[in-house]
Amino acid sequence: MLKQMKKSISALLRDFKKRHIIVRVLTVVAIFFVGRYIYKGLMWGNWNYKNYLIEGFFGKKSLEKGKKLIFFHMDGCPHCESMKPEWDKLKTTNSSHIKLEDYERKQKPDLVEKFSIRGFPSIVLVDDNNDKVDEYNGDRKAKSINDYLKKIKK
């Protein structure tokens, strides 16, 4: 097995040496960047084929298509604290095409300002372009929010 691998590698190197210098340089550079790309993914613990294949070829926006429901909360807010378990329940029971995200107000101050959020907790529906479509003002229970999500068209 080892001898066979050695023969295969030797044959590959022989063929490689016959190639034009530009092809050899481009091949080495390509191998370097692919290796570096994979290494960075493994080192940071975020190795995910969707991130590296889709985002790598088509850009980050292609992964973020679709509407999102965003839950904004504030540390120390009693209403937010009582809603967090319902939001967690919603995340496990959500079967809609809508992606769920949640942020403490200090994590995304730009979005808090963009969506003109004045009170917490707030639940905002955004579109593909991260523009506000609607603000959910119904009951703060997982079932009610899930019913709201089912009514939203793609």
> Do residues 22 and 95 share a domain?
no
Of 10, 27, 61, the position where a domain reaches its end is 61
Nearest partner of 52 among 64, 43, 68, 40, judged by Cα: 40
Instruction: Tell me the pLDDT tens digit for each residue of 73-130.
Output: 999 999 999 999 999 999 988 888 889 999 999 999 999 999 999 999 999 999 888 8
CB atoms within 10 A of CB 145: 24
> Do residues 106 and 48 share a domain?
no
Higher pLDDT pick, 12 / 101: 101
> Do residues 25 and 37 share a domain?
yes
Q: What is the pLDDT of residue 83?
A: 94
Q: What is the pLDDT of residue 61?
A: 47
Nearest partner of 121 among 64, 94, 82, judged by Cα: 82
> Do residues 77 and 141 share a domain?
yes
Q: Which CATH number fits the domain that encloses residue 120?
A: 3.40.30.10
> Do residues 11 and 73 share a domain?
no
> Do residues 29 and 99 share a domain?
no
The domain of 119 spans 64-151
> Do residues 42 and 97 share a domain?
no
Higher pLDDT pick, 8 / 48: 8
At 63, the pLDDT band (50, 70, 90 cuts) reads very low
Q: How many domains does the chain have?
A: 2
Distance, in Å, from the CA atom of 81 to the CA atom of 65, rounded to the nearest integer, reads 30
Task: Order the strands of the 122-126 sheet from edge to edge.
Answer: 99-104, 68-73, 122-126, 132-136
> Do residues 96 and 113 share a domain?
yes
Q: What is the pLDDT of residue 11?
A: 78
For residue 2, give the amino acid letter.
L
> Do residues 41 and 9 share a domain?
yes
**Mean pLDDT (whole number) for 35-54:** 59
> Do residues 138 and 77 share a domain?
yes
Percent of the chain with pLDDT over 90: 40
**Mean pLDDT (whole number) for 31-37:** 82
Instruction: Tell me the pLDDT tens digit for each residue of 1-10.
Output: 778 878 887 8
> Do residues 57 and 71 share a domain?
no
